[in-house]
Structure 1
């Protein structure tokens, strides 16, 4: 595997976010030589097209960190059967102004965890629709919709159940192969 720097966008701002914990667990399952950077979205202002010519420093920095990433891993919560507004806000910022999207061509992966029985299935589907429009080649299979239950993560933050960890590892392996196929050399 090549050296890869993966940007992680967590679609939840909650301090004890299951999705941030899942993202951290995934970093421990990644191929050797991969590095990760959490691309924080909480300080981005609400998107306003009037600001495209002179974006806030937080927006410029966010777009620079996306550009420096080999691929993007979206780990999203599901709010009201869709992606969180804060995630859509971040996506909109980095896609603008038209023709200068930081997302274009970046390979992407989408996973999520929720207390609901269907995990984050609907949020992921909505997110995939947006990523397709943004020209981000996005891993389609396998899909990962996890349900957070007591004891899902062990004391170290890893996925506690061996079967679930193998399942997520298979997704990480598929994502790694996807990135190798699609990342700019």
Structure 2
């Protein structure tokens, strides 16, 4: 069974971005499990001065993140767009998962990005910035498996995204592409 770790760039419990991650978990192929990482808000901002065993003892969320990403077969990054770019919480998670640089937990992991926005722009800037950050961090970003969903609020009309067959199908295709990348590796 393939394991995908989903990192959600919105901390709000009922955010659309989180619901997209829940959709990924519910529409994943039978042989794929999507786990949503809990605790991105508990991570301190990346600081090389505290990136050592002694200092990190005070921040167990860092070890949990690195272990979750390291144990996963693939990574799914889900992002809204804040002020035209990636939310700080998601960028921070990528930074922690990238260290030690060149040997971080995210290195070589097949990775896909899903963005969404109430605007027609579909958070494309955030999607592109997220893909760039993940790529620089060492992830193997699947450019042909990304997804940008615009006008998300009108598309879901107050319902869960999994209830929209187009959105659910598009997300299932992204998760399937991550699984296929593992087979092809």
Give the whole-Å Cα distance in 2 for the aligned partners of 1:83 and 1:130.
Answer: 9
- Tell me how large the CA RMSD over aligned residues is: 2.0
Which has the higher mean CA deviation after the structures are superposed, 41-50 or 144-153?
144-153
Under a length normalisation based on structure 2, what TM-score does the superposition of the two structures give?
0.87
Residue 149 of structure 1 aligns to a residue whose secondary structure is helix
Give the whole-Å Cα distance in 1 for the aligned partners of 2:178 and 2:67.
Answer: 23
Residues 154 and 160 in structure 1, CA contact (< 8 A), matched pair in contact too? no
Which has the higher mean CA deviation after the structures are superposed, 94-103 or 48-57?
94-103
Task: Specify the alignment match of 1:7 in structure 2.
Answer: 5
Give the whole-Å Cα distance in 2 for the aligned partners of 1:167 and 1:97.
Answer: 34
> Is 1:163 matched with 2:163?
no
Residue 90 of structure 1 aligns to a residue whose secondary structure is helix
More helix by share: 2
Aligned with 1:85 (options 88, 106, 122): 88
Which consecutive unaligned segments of at least 5 residues does structure 2 have?
Answer: none
Task: Specify the alignment match of 2:15 in structure 1.
Answer: 17
- Alignment map for 1:21-170 (pairs within 5 Å): 21-40=19-38, 41-54=40-53, 55=56, 56-147=59-150, 148-150=152-154, 152=156, 157-170=160-173
How many residues in Structure 1 have an aligned counterpart in Structure 2?
179
Give the whole-Å Cα distance in 1 for the aligned partners of 2:91 and 2:136.
Answer: 13
1:91 shift after superposition: 1.2
1:164 shift after superposition: 3.6
Which consecutive unaligned segments of at least 5 residues does structure 1 have?
Answer: none
